[in-house]
Structure formats: C-alpha cells, structure tokens
C-alpha cells in the first residue's frame, strides 16, 4: 500500500505520526496506513498470546475502565484479557449494576470515570454517537466497543487481521460479501469502512427492509439475492438479525429468512472454492448460518470457517489498540 506516510522501505514514520488519533471511535476516515499500522502492531500480540506465558507489562500502573451499557461476551472479555496481559489494572463497569439504573446520565457517568483518573475508557453503548460524546468530555483515550448502529471499530480491525492471516496481505482484488441485517449492524459499517479503505471489493446482501437506504454512499455493491452475491467471493461474512434494535417486523419468519439468506453448505459452494467463512458472533445457528458451515474445519476445496480465529485476533487487536492509544500517557518518545 503506497502512502505519503511510509518511507521507501515501507516503514511507518516514528512516533505518533503513525497513528495521530487520541481515541478510536470509528474506522471511517482512517487512512489505509493507519489501519495497517494497528494490524501490524497486533502481530506481536498474536505471537505472545500463543505462548504459555502471555504477559508483557508495558501498561503496568495504568488503569483501564471497561464501561459496558450493553451485553457482551467477546468484546468485554477480550478487552479485559488484553489489558491484563499488558499489565494494566482493569475494572469493568456493568451498567445494569451501576448508578445508571438510578437515573444517572451518560455524561455524569463519564465525568465520574474521568475523575477516577482512568488512563483509557472502553465503552459499549446502545446509542450511536454516545462514545464520541464521552470521548469529547474525558481526558483519556476512549475506545469504542460498539455504539448503536454506528461502529464497532475493533471488530472491523480484528476481522481484517483474520482475513490477512488467512488470505495474505493484499486486500486489493479481494471480494468480501457481508450478508445479514446490514441496516442495524455496526459490525457491517466498521468492516465496510475498513475493507474498502484497504482496497477490497465489498458486497452487502440483505432483504430490502434490512438494507440502509444510503448504502451506495458507502462504496459497496448491494445485493438482495444472496446466491448472486456469493459468486466469486473470497470471504463470506454472516451477520445475525439484531432483534434488539428492531421495532416492528422486518422479516416474515426466521424460517423464510434462512431459506433466502442463511449460509448452508450448498450455498457456500457458490463462493470461491477456498472461501473463508466469518461471523462476529453471537451466532443464531440454523438462522443466518448452519452449524456445519460455522464449524467447518476445511472442506476438500479449502473452504473453512474462521470464527474462532476472529475471537483469537480480537485479543491481539485490543492489545494493540490499548498499547498505541496509551503511548502519550506513558511518554514514549515521539508520542508526547
Ligand atoms: N462480536 C461482538 O461484539 O460480540 P459480543 O457482543 O459478544 O461482544
């Protein structure tokens, strides 16, 4: 990837010029080399996480607060593991057990966390834009762990890292098909921003009711026919129906949805023979994806599921993001 920020040998500039942002609230607008910098930073943590001893104490003495206003398994646990493996003190705030339940506002909650001198705050919230609101108020870096229908940037990054491990470093010329509830999906948005920025061709497929009206503005190719969308796909990324964000009926029935948009083994055969199957989780097996596809180790033509690899890459990406975004706090040379 050519870039005015890379030298002739393809090295990143020293210090904060490689990633000059205080927070990570989304992937929209990031330069390709900024995304690649985070992916490259994550590689050392992929290696470390595969060792029996998984500690590197570069964040020792720092406090990271995970403030989750929505449920999570993968994102919350992987941010917690990431912070702990880097030696930070990690505290989790679950909104259901917090003073949010007594009517405290989001801003007052954020100012309370700020007063505790957190060195990074990780936030998941049901409202699009809530994370940016907090990032504008507090003194430390803020990492978006998913806000409403807006973005889930570390998911986009971990998905790109998973694809790079499976398919190689060249995203240009790669065809990625994302199928499911595109309308309500922050995962879809972050993946679209990430993958189109890196040069991949992105197809999105959904029933008309679950396709955003402005989808063409995101530089993707929209489809309503899943079989047609799959043709020539290197990667097939499935999304669940986000019932918690739906008011009213968006699909006739889960059975009909599966018939038209579920990923079965037969349907997977329409993609490239060695297609990579992905799903951010949580999955609704038997609706958007069949179990024999979700658990596919590798078939005769090389197609396989990368769903557990996505989870593995999630820890490494979150370690990279926490490390990079706290470099100013730690006074690293070039990051002051
Ligand atoms: N992919 C993802 O965000 O999963 P969780 O909701 O379990 O964090």
Q: What is the pLDDT of residue 97?
A: 84
pLDDT of 221 over the 80 cut: yes
Confidence band, pLDDT 50/70/90 cuts, at residue 230: very high
> Which of the two residues, 233 and 254, has the higher pLDDT score?
233
Confidence band, pLDDT 50/70/90 cuts, at residue 3: low
pLDDT of 12 over the 90 cut: no
Say if residues 124 and 72 touch (Cβ distance below 8 Å).
yes
267 is catalytic: no
pTM (2 d.p.)? 0.96
Alpha helices per DSSP H over 246-306: 254-261, 265-268, 291-294
Distance (Å, rounded) from C-alpha 336 to C-alpha 44? 23
Residue 148 in contact with ligand 1 by CB distance below 6 A:
no
- Nearest protein CA to atom 1 of ligand 1, as residue: 280
Contacts 24+ apart (CB under 8 A), 226-229: 226/179, 226/260, 226/261, 226/267, 227/267, 227/270, 229/177, 229/179, 229/203, 229/204, 229/205
309 is catalytic: no
Q: Which two tokens stand for residue 310?
A: 């996505």
pLDDT of 8 over the 80 cut: no
Residue 73 in contact with ligand 1 by CB distance below 6 A:
yes
Q: Ligand 1 centre from 312 Cα, in Å?
A: 13
| H-helix or E-strand spanning residue 31 | none
What digits encode the pLDDT tens for the residues 143-165?
Answer: 999 999 999 999 999 999 999 99
55 is catalytic: no
Q: What is the pLDDT of residue 282?
A: 96
């Amino acid at each position: 990837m050519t870039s005015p920020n890379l030298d002739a040998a393809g090295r990143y500039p020293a210090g904060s010029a490689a990633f000059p942002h205080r927070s990570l609230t989304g992937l929209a607008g990031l330069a390709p080399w900024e995304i690649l910098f985070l992916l490259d930073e994550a590689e050392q943590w992929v290696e470390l996480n595969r060792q029996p001893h998984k500690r590197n104490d570069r964040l020792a003495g720092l406090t990271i607060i995970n403030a989750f206003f929505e449920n999570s398994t993968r994102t919350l646990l992987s941010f917690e593991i990431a912070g702990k493996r880097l030696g930070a003190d990690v505290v989790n705030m679950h909104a259901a057990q917090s003073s949010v339940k007594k009517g405290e506002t989001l801003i007052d909650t954020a100012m309370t966390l700020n007063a505790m001198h957190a060195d990074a705050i990780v936030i998941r919230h049901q409202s699009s834009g809530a994370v940016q609101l907090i990032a504008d108020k507090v003194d430390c870096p803020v990492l978006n762990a998913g806000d409403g229908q807006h973005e889930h940037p570390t998911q986009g990054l971990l998905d790109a890292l998973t694809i790079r491990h499976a398919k190689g470093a060249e995203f240009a010329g790669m065809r990625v098909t994302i199928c499911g509830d595109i309308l309500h999906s922050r995962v879809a948005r972050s993946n679209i921003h990430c993958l189109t920025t890196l040069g991949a061709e992105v197809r999105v497929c959904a029933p008309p009711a679950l396709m955003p009206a402005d989808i063409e503005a995101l530089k993707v190719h929209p489809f309503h026919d899943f079989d047609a969308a799959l043709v020539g796909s290197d990667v097939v990324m499935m999304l669940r129906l986000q019932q918690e964000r739906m008011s009213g009926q968006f699909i006739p029935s889960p059975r009909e949805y599966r018939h038209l948009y579920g990923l079965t083994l037969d349907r997977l055969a329409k993609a490239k023979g060695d297609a990579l199957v992905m799903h951010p989780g949580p999955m609704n097996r038997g609706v958007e994806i069949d179990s024999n596809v979700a658990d596919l180790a590798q078939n005769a033509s090389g197609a396989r599921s990368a769903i557990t690899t996505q989870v593995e890459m999630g820890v490494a990406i979150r370690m990279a993001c926490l490390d990079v975004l706290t470099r100013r706090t730690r006074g690293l040379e070039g990051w002051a």
